[in-house]
Amino acid sequence: MRTLSVSTKALLLIGLTLVAYLPALHNGFIWDDEAWLMKNPTLYGWSGLHELWFNPVALQQYYPITGTVFWAEYQLWRFDSFGYHLINVLLHGLNAVLFALLLRNLRLPGAWFAAAIFAVHPVMVESVAWITEIKNTLSTLFYLASILAFLRFENLEERDRRRRDWKWLGVSLLLFLCALLSKSVTCTLPVVLAILIWWKRARVRTADFLPLVPYFFLGVPLGLLTAWLEKHHVGAAGPEWAISWMQRVMLAGRVVCFYSYQLLWPANLSFIYPRWGLGSAWLFLSAGAVVGALIVLWGWRGRIGKGPFAAAAAFIVTLGPILGFMDSYAFQFSYVADHWQYLASLCLISLAAAIPSCFLPSRRRVLILGLPIVFLAFLTWRQCPIYQSVETLWRDTLAKNPECWLAHHNLGFFLLSQNRSPEAETHLRAALRLRPDYYEAENNLGHCLMMQNRLQEAGQHIDRSIALNPDCAASRWSKALLCERQGKKEEAYAIAQAGLDQPAVYLDGLNRFAWLLATAENSDIRDATSAERLARRGCELTHYANPYFLDTLAASYAAQGRYLEARQLATRALVIASGLENDELENEIASRLKLYQSSEPYADRG
């Protein structure tokens, strides 16, 4: 490898990344992808860009650069998942290259070996194969570039203020701001820079850290904004987050041990891991182990150097935002996730790669170090198909974590959308067994029973969902559906109108209600004119880019005998559905299009 140029090594590393993640390029959309893409109103038009930058709650978090990248991707390939996956894989490959350049700049041995480990380590698959987690790959790109720019400004090993090039400090700060606006977990960068300065210099002075002050002025406010939005906008509030400070300290130790072990032994990786009990003795033992390890590394710094302590400290600091001291919405179902350690993993990987690189003979180094790279690449290749679809994701999660109420619910919800009601009912009831106060599961179980014409039982679950959360829009729309099915038209239309008057219309509920009115076999329920009005409102809200609303509007036209318009809209819906790689939806729309071509309306007999 010594004879190869840096650019050649970089190309080989990106090629290795592409090969390892080849299966991911054929994956579709999963879980949060829908919120960030298919149901993201900021994707449409220039006004969406304005919303991204000037409305902090336009997305789940204030990540305007991530949102802008999604906006640009949507303009290029709409909802074709291949483009989104390709960009994510390429960003990951670029991150691996920047990681290698950073380690070379820091004069760490095994720089390209460390970068290759990062590129193909299966723990990274969750960040790379999940479209939404471009937040990780994009923010890490800016994060690493910011450090490299800082190293152009400051020589860490020599204190020479006269040779500082201040423009590079400005470039570094700009890149850091871009990282924060992509994902604010990068707010720990100034502390990591301080650790690097301490590591590289024999003696440190207070003045050595003064250039880091503006980084804190950028990082702290945006980090606090994210914490506030997570609690007040995303919903990380309630009894699940009632954790004492002592428990949080103990939890942080367990989290550090868990992530370290996953990097060392990446077996049984799961999208959602079991949620630990906070009374477990493992919490105390883990916290003690972390403190003990830091004390040992600190005590041995004279013999083994300051590097190991610096790497461990940087790892813990980078994990800081998700150690448990700040509440995350996901804490209600798990305290850990693979994508949360994407950035922090760089610290331990750099240490782990440096050790064998120091002791192995140069002639055998490539062969010996190549073996773990090949093995990790194989594990990554095998891990990628788990993220192929919503169904594969949640079935794999339940195989590894059978008591995951969220996985049961989300799989049940998906099966419900595929008209597989009996199997959906099984998973929705399992979700309620594991979490009895889960209002979303109550509502979706009610809808599932409604699809099976068990209207009385469905009403009980929908009413319980509304009682648990009166503000749940989905439950209100389900109630409108139920009333319509029961012949209570006035009540149904009143609920629907109230839903349309909300600042943010619940699109799934709107489409379900319009679909029922457009396709009901029972003439007492069917109301094609009202269905057209509701479906057109849904199309306007989604800028005529949502195949479900287009399909519903086409059905409403066909129900009125307007077959030419029905065929035009169904054709458009079919094109968009094909880009989503949703074979079932594509087949359903195609079958309805054939009816419209024969001048026949569609009647839903479900």
Task: Write the pLDDT tens digit of every residue in 385-443.
Answer: 999 999 999 999 999 999 999 999 999 999 998 889 999 999 999 999 999 999 999 99
Q: Quick one: pLDDT at residue 4? A: 86
Q: Is 3 left (phi over 0), alpha (psi -120 to 50) or beta?
A: alpha
Q: What is the mean pLDDT of residues 271-282?
A: 88
d(CA 301, CA 520): 75
The continuous run of DSSP H or E covering 350 comes out as: helix 345-359
Taking Cα atoms as reference points, which of 504, 512, 453 lies closest to residue 481?
Answer: 512
Q: Mind giving me the DSSP string for 135-167? A: HHHHHHHHHHHHHHHHHHH--SSS--GGG--HH
pLDDT at res. 595: 94
Q: pLDDT tens across 151-205, in order? A: 999 988 776 666 788 999 999 999 999 999 999 999 999 999 999 999 999 889 9
Query: At which residue do the structure tokens 């029972």 appear?
Result: 522
Q: What is the largest CA-CA distance in the chain?
A: 85
Q: How far is CA 296 from CA 40, 54, 300, 308, 349, in A?
A: 49, 48, 6, 10, 20
Confidence grade of residue 1 (pLDDT, cut at 50, 70, 90): very low
Given a cut of 70, is residue 606 above it in pLDDT? no
Query: Is residue 366 scored above 80 in pLDDT?
Result: no
| Architecture of domain 403-504 in this structure | Alpha Horseshoe (1.25)
Chain mean pLDDT for the chain: 93
* Class for the domain spanning 507-606: mainly alpha
Q: What is the mean pLDDT of residues 87-106?
A: 98
Other beta carbons within 10 angstroms of residue 402's beta carbon come to: 12
pLDDT at 330 over 70: yes
> By mean pLDDT, which of 231-240, 359-368, 393-402 is the weakest?
359-368
490-504 residue pLDDT tens:
999 999 999 888 887
Q: Is the pLDDT of residue 2 over 60?
A: no
- Per-residue pLDDT tens digits for 61-88: 999 999 999 999 999 988 889 999 999 9
The two structure tokens encoding residue 370 = 């190549």
> Rounded to 5, what percent of the chain is helix, strand, coil?
75, 0, 25
Mapped onto helix, strand or coil, the DSSP state of residue 300 is coil
Structure tokens at 461: 């679950």
Which range has the worst mean pLDDT, 200-204, 329-333, 468-472, 602-606? Answer: 602-606
* Average pLDDT for 307-329: 96
pLDDT of amino acid 141: 98
- When pLDDT is averaged across residues 525-549 and rounded to a whole number, the result is 91
pLDDT in tens, 109-159: 999 999 999 999 999 999 999 999 999 999 999 999 999 999 999 988 776
Tens-digit pLDDT profile for residues 27-48:
999 988 988 988 888 998 899 9
User: What does the buried/exposed string (b/e) look like for 348-368 if buried means 16 or more CB atoms within 10 Å of the residue's CB?
Assistant: bbbbbbbeebeebeeeebeee
* Predicted TM-score (pTM) of this structure: 0.92
For residue 213, the tally of other CB atoms under 10 A from its CB is 9
The pLDDT value recorded for residue 363 is 64
Question: pLDDT at residue 580 above 90?
Answer: no
Q: Which residues pair with 520 in a beta bridge?
A: 604
Confidence tier at 317 by pLDDT (50, 70, 90): very high
Cβ-based neighbours of 422, under 8 Å, separated by 6 or more: 452
Query: What gap in Å lies between CA 417 and CA 34, rounded to an integer?
Result: 14
Q: Where in the chain is the domain with CATH 1.25.40.10?
A: 403-504
